[in-house]
Amino acid sequence: MSNEKPQAAPASAVLDRFYGVIPAGGVGTRLWPLSRAAAPKFLHDLTGSGSTLIRATYERLSPLSGDRVMVVTGAVHRQAVRQQLPEISNKNLVLELEPKDSAAAIGLAAAILYKRDPQIIMGSFAADQVIAPVEVFQAAVREAVHTAAQGYIVTIGIEPTHPSTGFGYIRAGEQLRVAGAPSARSVVEFVEKPSADVAQTYLDSGSYSWNAGMFVAPVDLMLKHLEANEPVLYAGLMEIADAWDTTRRREVVRRVWPSLPKIAIDYAVAEPAAAAGDVAMIPGAFSWDDVGDFAAIGRLNPAAENSNLTVMGEGARVYSENATGIVVSDTKRVIALIGIEDVVIVDTPDALLVTTKEHAQEVKKAVEHLKASGDTDVL
C-alpha cells in the first residue's frame, strides 16, 4: 500500500469502482411467439449455447465486477431472473412495478448505487445481446471504465458491418488521451436510425459506429445530467433510492414509481451529455447482435453441416426435404418441411408463426394485430 502514488489512482483501484447493471426489459416482439410478455427474449437461449441471454450477460460482466451486479427488470420476471441469476441478492434485484422506459430503469440503478457509494462507475448492458469474443468485450469495458474515471459518460460503439437502418449511430470525434484507454475518443453526437442512403455515408466515413446502448459512467455524472434534463424523474428516483436499502423501500416504490415520466436514456442523458462534451466512446471490435428478429437466430445458430436448415429446440422432431431456413420448436410435435426456402417457423404450444427470413422484421405487425383483435392470451 505504501507504494501507491497518491496523485493517480492505480488501474486496479479504478476498476474496483466498477458496478455492472443489467436492464432486463423488452418483450422482443419481433421474436414472437417464442419471446412474449411472460417469457421475454432475455429468458431464452437464442444462441444454442445452453445459457439464456441474461445468464450470458451476467457471465460476461462478473469477471470484471465480481458480485457487484445489479439487475433491473419487471416485477413479473422476479422468479425467472432469480432462477437464472441466483447470485443476485435481493438488494441488487430492482423490480419495476410497470415499465417506465430506460431512463427510469438505468437512472434508478444509478441513484441506488450513488447512495451506497458516490464513487461507483456503473456499466449498463442490456440483458438480451449476444457478444463474442467475451475477452474483447471485457477489454473494451476496461478501457471504458478508465475513461469514465476521467469524468465521461462512455459508450461502447459497435463497428458497423453493414449500412443498417435498424440502429442509431454514434459519431466519434477526436482521440482522447486516457491512461489505460488507448482507443478512447470523444463523441460528437448520437444520431437516430438513418435512411439507407445516409447509413451508407456513415459506413463510408469511418467515423460512425452502432449505438448498442452500452453506457459506462460515474453514477454522479449520470445523475447530474439526469437532474438537468429530467428534474421530475431525477427527484422521484432519488426519493426511491433514499428508501431502497431501508424498510421503507416497498412503500416508497409503490407510491413514486407509477408517477415517473417515461423517457429513453438516450434523450434524458446521452444526447444532451454528448452536446455538453461529456461523452466518450470506446470502439467495440467484437461481434455484436441484438437478436432483433428470427433472421438473427439463423445467424447465431448456423445450420448443421450439409444442411441449410437451422433447428433450435430441445425436443425438436423435424423432418425436412429440400427445405432451408430456421425452425424454432418449443413443443415435441413432429414438424415436416417439404420444398420450402428461407422459411422461419416458430412452433409453440399455443401459437405458430410461419414467415420468411426476409419478412422476419414484420412479426411485430402480427403481434400488434393480435393485441388489437383481443388475442392477448398468446402475447
**Residues of this chain that bind a second copy (CB under 8 A):** 32-33, 317, 319, 321-322, 333-340, 343, 345, 347, 349-356, 358-359, 362-363, 365-366, 369-370, 373, 375, 378
Q: Which of 9, 237, 212, 222 is nearest to 127 (CA)?
A: 212
Least Å from the CB of residue 164 to a second copy: 20
Least Å from the CB of residue 294 to a second copy: 10
Residue 208 phi, psi dihedral angles, 5° rounding: -115, 140
Least Å from the CB of residue 323 to a second copy: 8
Least Å from the CB of residue 34 to a second copy: 12
**Dist CA 23 CA 108 (whole Å):** 11
Task: State which residue, 11 or 370, has the beta carbon closest to a second copy.
Answer: 370
Reduce the DSSP state of residue 284 to 3 states and report it.
strand
Task: State which residue, 174 or 321, has the beta carbon closest to a second copy.
Answer: 321
- Which residues does 247 contact at the CB level (< 8 Å), separation at least 6? none
**Dist CA 137 CA 283 (whole Å):** 10
Would the CA dihedral through 99, 102, 105, 107 be positive or negative? negative
Task: State which residue, 306 or 373, has the beta carbon closest to a second copy.
Answer: 373
Task: State which residue, 255 or 359, has the beta carbon closest to a second copy.
Answer: 359
- Helix axes of 101-116 and 219-229: crossing angle, nearest 10 degrees: 130
Task: State which residue, 8 or 354, has the beta carbon closest to a second copy.
Answer: 354
Task: State which residue, 230 or 347, has the beta carbon closest to a second copy.
Answer: 347
**Dist CA 38 CA 32 (whole Å):** 11
Least Å from the CB of residue 307 to a second copy: 15
Task: State which residue, 1 or 338, has the beta carbon closest to a second copy.
Answer: 338
Distance of CA 296 to the CA centre of its chain: 15
Task: State which residue, 153 or 318, has the beta carbon closest to a second copy.
Answer: 318
- Which residues does 189 contact at the CB level (< 8 Å), separation at least 6? 170, 171, 271, 274, 275
- 161-165, Cβ contacts within 8 angstroms, sequence gap of 24 or more: 162/203, 163/196, 163/199, 163/200, 163/202, 163/203, 164/199, 164/210, 165/193, 165/194, 165/195, 165/196, 165/199
CA distances (Å), origin 162, targets 158, 171, 180, 205, 291: 11, 16, 30, 13, 16
For cell 429468458, what's the residue?
Answer: 43
Least Å from the CB of residue 28 to a second copy: 15
Least Å from the CB of residue 74 to a second copy: 23
Task: State which residue, 252 or 340, has the beta carbon closest to a second copy.
Answer: 340
Least Å from the CB of residue 58 to a second copy: 32
**DSSP secondary structure letters along 13-26:** HHHHTEEEEEEE--
Least Å from the CB of residue 315 to a second copy: 12
CA distances (Å), origin 131, targets 47, 61, 210: 10, 12, 14
